Amino acid sequence: MSHILITRPEGKGADLAEKLLQGGYQATLFPVLTLDYFTLQSAQLTPLLNADKIIFISQDAVKALLALKPDINTKAQFYAVGEKTAEAIWQGFGVRAAVPKQHDSEGLLALQSLQQIDGQNIVLVKGKDGRPTIAKILKQRSAFLNNLVIYQRAPIEGEPSNWLDHWQSLNVKGIVITSNAAVDAIFNQLPLKQLEWLRQCQFYVASSRICEHLKLQHVNSENIHIAAGASDSAMFTCISQGNTMSEHAKPTTLAAEVKTASSTNQTAKSAATSPAAKKEPMMNQNNKQKISKTGSLALLISLIVASGVGYQFYQKFNTEQQANQLVTQLSADNQLLSKELQAVKAAQQTLQQALFNSEQKVAASLAENADNTAKQLESALQRAQQQAYSLNPHEVTSLQRMAEFKLWAEKDYKGAAAVLARLDALLAEHPGTGAIRQAIHSDMQALSIVKPIPAEAIYLQLHGVLEQIDKLDFNAVALPQVAITTKQDALSEDVSDWQQNVAKTWEQLQDNFIKIRQREDIAIEPLLTEQERHLIKQRLSLYLSQAQDALLTKQASIYFTALNQAHVLVSDYFKQDDPHTQSVLKTLAGLNKESLNFSPEITLKSTEQVKEWAQ
């Protein structure tokens, strides 16, 4: 069976090779291209979050994007050029992709859901230097297109001439090709002898586009077989059908020869079994009985001699006549050839003169055409610098307005920078937009400096302080309860007890008015009632809640005033050596240092540039 060479990139041709081996073919994996994945920044992947439709050109585009682990809008409509790409999308993102019946760019663009796409955000995930057909048509249909180039194909290291020496030693008969880049890699800088051998091989390609590209390398169309797609099953079917058709001719010829031989044998048999053939031996037997053997022999010898003499005479007469005719014919041919030779010499002189004149005319015409072409190219370049060819002004202004909305209405500085990055990527594909791009990069730099206010974190910290209020201990001493004493020193009503009554009276007088008590405490702390303590904590809670409201309503002055009042209350009324008090004071001091610039002064320079360009 034929030896088939599979040139698909590494990791893609193993299944096809296994099928070919099971089908009785010889198969060799020889990748001629390598895939290099690009590393993109998060800003370049932002369009995937707002995309309405996401189109993947190949399995490699899906794998390269998965390697970046992007945030992607899985609610968007996914599209795949072929079944293998759709399967890779399902395995990678868990989303079913729309697949056209015709597995190419034209089939994809013919889908009904890609007809009315005015104003929709579409992301095209592709490789470098791919076909521009999809991008061009989608822009013509007024879609907002983002080209996400995430990989490139490049020839593997080595000389193609060395590849072909190896292929010839393997006696390769067929080559599987699935991209134009593979065709360019194989036919690059080959000597004429190797090109002649290569053009005699059978080529199995994935599309008519690759077939046309092969024809540019002067490959005969009879040696090119187009599969129903790039899948392994489609390629195997194409290879099987191609070999079967090429081998049908030999069995047909052999069958015809067998049929002819059999018909000849049948004719001979029928002739041998005919009635005339049966009667002839019977007649010969009768004659042999009537004629003697000697007479028969003499008659036979006479006939042979007469035949020889007649044949020699005939040959001699025939030979002389043919010789005379040949001499006459040669003389006539010589005369005709001399006339033609003279005519050729005259024509050669005429052609040389005409060629000399035409060379001068061609040289003058080429010089004139070169001057005209240079002028046309220069004028076309000037026109290209003055205006963007297919750049849609509506798309540019819409993106600029979206960036302004995110900046002023939503205060989303990262979102505004992402939209400007998307606008810059769009303008990068068109000449004459250098001034706008410079302004865009200046705006992106200004937006990157702005630090977002961690409002949620600050709010939660204030909530934590509110939860700690009930755990704070007041800096006060509780009043002791007044002891209720019974009148043990009551005076006696008996007159005889007068001395005892006088002593008791003196002791009471001394105890109530004259006795001095000493305190050993260092400081006299204020005494607070329960109602006062409750009011202080309520007031502290009010200040912290006021700071939270000011944070949400973006009122920086009220926020800092409330924090200062809360700090004063905690410092004045609560124990400073208590861990809860120290934690609250530390948190309040940290919150008071936050920079709450809710309205930074940022002016987008690109706005004026876009307005001037649009006018």
Tokens representing 496?
Answer: 């005889």
Q: What pTM, to 2 d.p., does this model score? A: 0.40
What are the pLDDT digits (tens) for 266-294? 433 343 333 333 333 343 444 444 445 56
The structural domains of the chain, ordered by start, are 3-31+157-246 (3.40.50.10090), 33-155 (3.40.50.10090), 393-450+608-614 (no CATH), 455-592 (no CATH)
pLDDT of residue 138: 92
pLDDT of residue 487: 53
pLDDT of residue 211: 93
pLDDT of residue 99: 92
Q: Side by side, which strands form the sheet with 77-80? A: 33-37, 144-155, 121-127, 53-56, 77-80
What are the pLDDT digits (tens) for 150-197? 988 888 887 888 888 888 898 999 999 988 888 988 888 888 888 889
Assess contact for 169 and 196: CB atoms under 8 A: no
Tokens representing 165?
Answer: 């020496």
pLDDT of residue 430: 77
CA distance to 141, 144, 293, 434, per residue, from 117 (Å): 6, 9, 110, 29
Q: Compute the distance between CA of residue 372 and CA of residue 378 in angstroms, rounded to an integer.
A: 10
Going by C-beta distance under 8 Å and a sequence separation of 6 or more, which residues neighbour residue 585? 567, 570, 571
Backbone dihedral angles phi then psi of residue 317, each to the nearest 5 degrees: -65, -40
What one-character DSSP code corresponds to residue 187?
Answer: S
Q: Which of 468, 460, 430, 473 is nearest to 552 (CA)?
A: 460
Q: List average pLDDT for each run of 10 residues in the chain, which is 615 residues long.
A: 85 86 90 87 86 91 89 91 90 91 87 90 89 89 90 84 87 90 87 89 90 91 88 87 55 34 38 38 42 60 67 61 70 74 75 73 79 78 56 83 82 84 84 83 84 84 89 70 52 75 78 59 61 89 91 87 91 90 90 80 82 78
Q: Compute the distance between CA of residue 82 and CA of residue 178 in angstroms, rounded to an integer.
A: 13
pLDDT of residue 265: 40
Q: Which of 208, 212, 162, 204 is nearest to 185 (CA)?
A: 162
Using only the alpha carbons of the chain, give its radius of gyration. 53
pLDDT of residue 611: 83
> Is residue 121 classed as helix, strand or coil in its secondary structure?
strand
pLDDT of residue 388: 43
Q: How many residues does the chain have?
A: 615
